[in-house]
Amino acid sequence: MRGSVLVLLAVALAGCGGSFFSASGPTKGAILKHSDDETPPYTLVELSADTIAPYMRPREPVLTPAVSDTPMPEVKLVSGDVLRVMVSDSSIEGALFAPLSTGGTVFNKVRIDSKGNVSLPYLGRQKVSGLTLGQVEDKLRGTAAQYASDPQVHVELVSDLSGSVLVAGAVKSPGRFSALEGPLTLLDAINEAGGVLLEPHLVRVILRTGKKVETYSYQDILSGGNHPVPPRSEIIVERARQRIVAMGAVSKPGLVDLPSDNPSLLEVLGTVGGLNERTADARGVFVFRLEDNKLSSEPLAKVFRLDLRDPAAIFLARNFLVLPEDAVYVTNAHSYEFQKLISPIVQVLILGRSVDAIGN
């Protein structure tokens, strides 16, 4: 029966070799070694005290005491705005409008229709869209002068579409928010919407004003980069592409959000649960990165390697900056690969012995 055992072993290794010897990525040797006539498609950087300087985390930014300017914008009325109009007459007897001493004649909730007009008793239909409040007062005063002696007109905005700001996306309470109480900044508008749903460094803010589109990091806004928001703007709050891929012999491989604005390799490894103690090769910690090429449209590929068996490597990992879209990969230890080779052999030998026992 020994021959049948060998046949079973050969068949098992031939048919299942792909699964037994597979890994989640290249071996350490495949990354580090190339034949003399073969140029690797990437630059290998062995991280050390002499090579880490260009790849270190930046220092924490200095806090700025400056606050955002909040200039009062000139609001021009649009369809949908609601006005409160007061018209008074200096005459007492036979006047169409009440005197100013009694508060004048007030028209509440005067809405600008879809054609930009308002309709008022005696004053008729008036085109007001595109005008400021002061211009509307002058226009109505001119019309009221036909029916009143020295008329006074006061117009105020009680519900504004023209000065409001729309906030949408990754906020708690998206919606349209009024600027009646004063001009809004990016932080004002986002706070009115209940704040963001993600960590600040994971948020990107898009501001559309009708004339241009601008993009901001929410972390930068909090650090002093707040900006005023023009009327009728739209603010979109969305998840920034601040992710890396963790692969190989780590405890929690997968697509991972960066743990901070400028994370170190040590932080990232901590986020994914560190190296897998049973399978990882501490000598094979790699970071794969594509960088912009100033001389060509083709990106530059770099592979950084760190040997965590060296105690000094912990300090290097603490200072090495991990960028969005990096891939952090830890190779398997040789002992684990050997175990994957031996396990199927042992299983086949046990199976063969069982077959032999049944035959006897």
pLDDT in tens, 187-206: 999 999 999 999 999 999 99
pLDDT in tens, 308-341: 999 999 999 999 999 999 999 998 887 555 455 4
pLDDT at residue 140, rounded to an integer: 93
Across the chain, how many H-helices and E-strands are there?
A: 8, 16
Mean pLDDT of 242-254: 92
pLDDT at residue 106, rounded to an integer: 93
Which tokens in the block code for residue 341? 């080779």
pLDDT in tens, 2-26: 444 444 444 444 444 444 444 567 7
Cα torsion 172, 177, 183, 187 to 10°: value is: 10
Asked whether residue 138 carries a pLDDT value surpassing 80, the answer given is yes
Mean pLDDT of 160-177: 89
| 53, 316 contact by CB (below 8 A) | no
pTM of the predicted model, to two decimals?
0.69
- Find where tokens 């600027």 sit: 179
pLDDT at residue 258, rounded to an integer: 93
User: Bridge partners of 223?
Assistant: none
pLDDT at residue 17, rounded to an integer: 44
pLDDT at residue 337, rounded to an integer: 55
**Comparing C-alpha atoms, which of 340, 336, 338, 334 is closest to residue 28?**
334
Of 71-85, 133-147, 232-246, which gets the smallest average pLDDT?
71-85
Asked whether residue 171 carries a pLDDT value surpassing 70, the answer given is yes
Mean pLDDT of 101-108: 89
Amino acid (1-letter code) at residue 269: L
pLDDT at residue 102, rounded to an integer: 86
CB neighbour list of residue 282: distance below 8 Å, 6 or more residues apart: 275, 307, 308, 309
**Comparing C-alpha atoms, which of 195, 163, 201, 147 is closest to residue 80?**
163
**Comparing C-alpha atoms, which of 252, 306, 237 is closest to residue 49?**
306
pLDDT at residue 37, rounded to an integer: 57
Q: How many whole angstroms separate alpha carbon 321 and alpha carbon 57?
A: 5
- Cα distances (Å, whole numbers) of residue 155 to 25, 88, 161, 194, 239: 71, 12, 16, 32, 42
Pairing relation of β-strands 175-177 and 165-169?
antiparallel
